[in-house]
């Protein structure tokens, strides 16, 4: 049996008056890759932001390593070893690669050394003195993932890391994510790109209108392909 690292129950969230999440429930086994799939506006990003404590108005339960975190502030959640890589990547574009890596946000214990980061992402070493704005989309995404690894987080919340990237770069990002899994990281991945998600995920949850409407293990994908693509409108 695999340990559960994170579990949400009846997770609800609001932006102002708008009720966005209506009771999201899923669990993330330690060391696995779990994907959240769904159409635009389904509530995937809001789910990640709620777990990270970035949506203030949220209720329900988010248990991380046996501790309830629903009432914690985002910096306390980060200190537990959870990190969020937003869709817009969140790097400092006016700073160069090296500086970005030396300025990670809140640190949990055991942040990845710069040396290890460069081993995982050799291109970042080559581009060390390049300013954020001068990087390609793929390089920016790698830098964004590298920054969250520097925090020492063991649970990585990745929001559409492949968005807007060329297939060859998507392939590289996929290899990095798999390698992180092999090294023991746990990954919660939001994706619109189902072909990428199915290659990555051990378990997939489908979100519609702020609720989980289905769940598939990796082995169940082949027999449910039509159903899943129907959910995603692809």
Residues interacting with ligand ATP, by CB under 6 A?
Answer: 15, 18, 20, 38, 40-46, 192
Q: Is 76 helix (H, G, I), strand (E, B) or coil?
A: helix
Q: What is the C-alpha end-to-end distance of the chain, expressed in Å?
A: 34
The distance of closest approach from Cβ of residue 9 to ligand ATP in the complex, given in angstroms and rounded to an integer, is: 19
Minimum separation from the CB atom of position 218 to ligand ATP (A): 22
Q: Which is nearer to ligand ATP, 97 or 189 (CB)?
A: 189
Q: How far apart are CA 176 and CA 13, in angstroms?
A: 32
- Mapped onto helix, strand or coil, the DSSP state of residue 58 is strand
Would strands 18-29 and 4-15 be described as parallel, antiparallel, or unpaired?
Answer: antiparallel
Residue 120 CA to residue 228 CA, distance in Å, equals: 33
Q: What minimum distance in Å lies between the beta carbon of 43 and ligand ATP?
A: 4
Per-residue H/E/C for 25-56 = EEEEECCCEEEEECCCCCCHHHHHHHHCCCCC
Q: How far is the CB of 41 from ligand ATP (least distance, A)?
A: 4
3-state DSSP call for residue 125?
Answer: helix
CA dihedral 59, 200, 190, 152 (to 10 degrees): 70
Choice between 89 and 150, CB closer to ligand ATP: 89
Nearer of residues 12 and 130 to ligand ATP, judged by Cβ: 12
22 or 116, CB closer to ligand ATP?
A: 22
Encoded tokens for 84: 């969020």
Q: How far is the CB of 108 from ligand ATP (least distance, A)?
A: 25
Output the smallest distance, CB 233 to ligand ATP, in A.
12
Choose between 42 and 101: whose C-beta lies nearer to ligand ATP: 42
Nearer to ligand ATP (CB atom), residue 121 or residue 159: 159
Q: Are strands 33-37 and 203-208 parallel, antiparallel or unpaired?
A: parallel
């Amino acid at each position: 049996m695999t340990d559960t690292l994170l579990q949400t129950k009846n997770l609800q969230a609001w932006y102002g008056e708008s009720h966005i999440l209506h009771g999201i429930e899923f669990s993330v086994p330690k060391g696995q890759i779990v994907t959240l799939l769904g159409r635009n506006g389904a509530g995937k990003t809001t789910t990640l932001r709620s777990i990270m404590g970035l949506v203030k108005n949220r209720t329900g339960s988010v248990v991380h390593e046996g501790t309830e975190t629903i009432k914690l502030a985002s910096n306390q959640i980060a200190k537990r070893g959870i990190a969020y890589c937003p869709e817009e990547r969140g790097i400092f574009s006016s700073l160069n690669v090296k500086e970005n890596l030396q300025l990670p946000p809140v640190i949990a214990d055991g942040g990845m050394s710069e040396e290890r980061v460069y081993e995982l992402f050799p291109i970042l070493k080559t581009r060390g003195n390049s300013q954020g704005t001068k990087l390609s989309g793929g390089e920016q995404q790698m830098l964004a993932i590298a920054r969250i690894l520097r925090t020492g987080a063991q649970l990585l919340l990745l929001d559409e890391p492949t968005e807007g990237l060329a297939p060859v770069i998507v392939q590289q990002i996929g290899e990095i994510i798999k390698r992180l899994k092999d090294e023991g990281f746990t990954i919660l991945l939001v994706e619109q790109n189902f072909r990428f998600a199915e290659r990555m995920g051990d378990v997939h949850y489908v979100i519609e209108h702020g609720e989980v409407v289905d769940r598939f293990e990796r082995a169940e994908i082949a027999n449910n392909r039509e159903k899943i693509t129907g959910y995603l409108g692809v």
